[in-house]
Amino acid sequence: MAGSRPGGRRGAPPESITTQVPTPTPDPGDGGRFVFRTRVLSATDLRRAHTRIAHEIVERNHGASGLVLVGLHTRGPAIATRIAAAIASFEGVEVPVGCLDVAFYRDDIGRRPVAPAGPTEIPVDVTDRVVVIVDDVLQTGRTARAALDALTELGRPRAVQLAVLVDRGHRELPIRADYVGKNLPTRYAEDVRVRLTDTDGVEDGIELWGPAGDGAGDGDGDEGAR
């Protein structure tokens, strides 16, 4: 759908991908194991992706009334806010934006430490509305499943749709996104890092990182292709 965006070029050193942010985001938590591979989407690409998703949401739902955008902690709310701003700019409708914490509904509680990111806050009753769940990256689908459970406890939406900035494959549940910023085939061991000014304090962008020294610098996506 969005596979031909310029930021998605493969096999080139990071410097040639984009001139806007030549230095990859430092992340001391990696202990040196993960290295920067490529910048997948630039700030401009991201803005276009938000705008396109906003248009698709309005087109699919024949307008923007009765919608509510629900972002999943931690980056979902920021993305939902941007999509809502885009809808407001061309449709003139203020779509309510909420945030949802799915920690208490995850299926891996007790298998690893699960930390709630913040309280759930949805400004309207979701019952009989079309809820668009918004998240940054779709991978296994387990977070989306937890979100469906969490939403069900809050009411009975007329329909639930899913919007993500990146679909990187490796699904473990029968879940798919309705709106996708970019389909990005990845290796399982790789890491897709979404950076937003609102949540991360750096310029918008999506980067692909991978384990150092496995030679998979081209991100050929053998495992994640769909």
Partner 1 sequence: MNHLLSIDDLDRAALDELHTLAESFLEVTGREIPKVPALRGKVVVSLFYEDSTRTRLSFETAAKRLSADVMTFAVGSSSVKKGESLRDTIQTIAAMGIDAVVVRHPSAGAAHQLARWVDASVVNAGDGRHEHPTQALLDTLTIRRHRGPAIDGLRVAIVGDVRNSRVARSDVKALALLGAEVTLVAPDTLLPPSLAGWPCTATHDLESVLGDVDVLMLLRIQRERAAEASFPSLREFTARWGLTVDRAARLGPGTLVMHPGPMNRGVEIAPEVADGPRSLIAEQVHNGVAIRMAVLWKLLSGGSGGGMVA
Quick one: CA dihedral 96, 101, 106, 108, positive or negative?
A: positive
The smaller minimum CB distance to partner 1, of residues 13 and 118, is found at: 118
In angstroms, give the least distance from the CB of 25 to partner 1.
25
The smaller minimum CB distance to partner 1, of residues 85 and 117, is found at: 117
User: 199 is written with which tokens?
Assistant: 């949540």
d(CA 52, CA 73): 22
In angstroms, give the least distance from the CB of 9 to partner 1.
40
d(CA 46, CA 7): 10
In angstroms, give the least distance from the CB of 97 to partner 1.
17
User: 25 is written with which tokens?
Assistant: 């985001």
In angstroms, give the least distance from the CB of 216 to partner 1.
29
**How many Cβ atoms from other residues are within 10 Å of residue 31's Cβ?**
7
Q: Are 81 and 55 in contact (CB under 8 A)?
A: no
What letters, b where the CB count within 10 A reaches 16 and e where it falls short, cover 71-96? Answer: bbbbbbbbbbbbbbebbeeebeeebe
In angstroms, give the least distance from the CB of 223 to partner 1.
26
- Provide the binding-site residues for partner 1, judged by CB under 8 A: 101, 103-105, 109-114, 116, 118-121, 149, 153-154
Looking at the DSSP bridge assignments, the partners of residue 137 are 166
Provide the strand spans (E) within 22-129: 34-41, 67-72, 97-100
User: 194 is written with which tokens?
Assistant: 């979404």
φ, ψ of residue 223 in degrees (nearest 5): -85, -30
The smaller minimum CB distance to partner 1, of residues 115 and 174, is found at: 115
The smaller minimum CB distance to partner 1, of residues 100 and 163, is found at: 100
DSSP state of 6: G
The smaller minimum CB distance to partner 1, of residues 59 and 153, is found at: 153
In angstroms, give the least distance from the CB of 53 to partner 1.
28
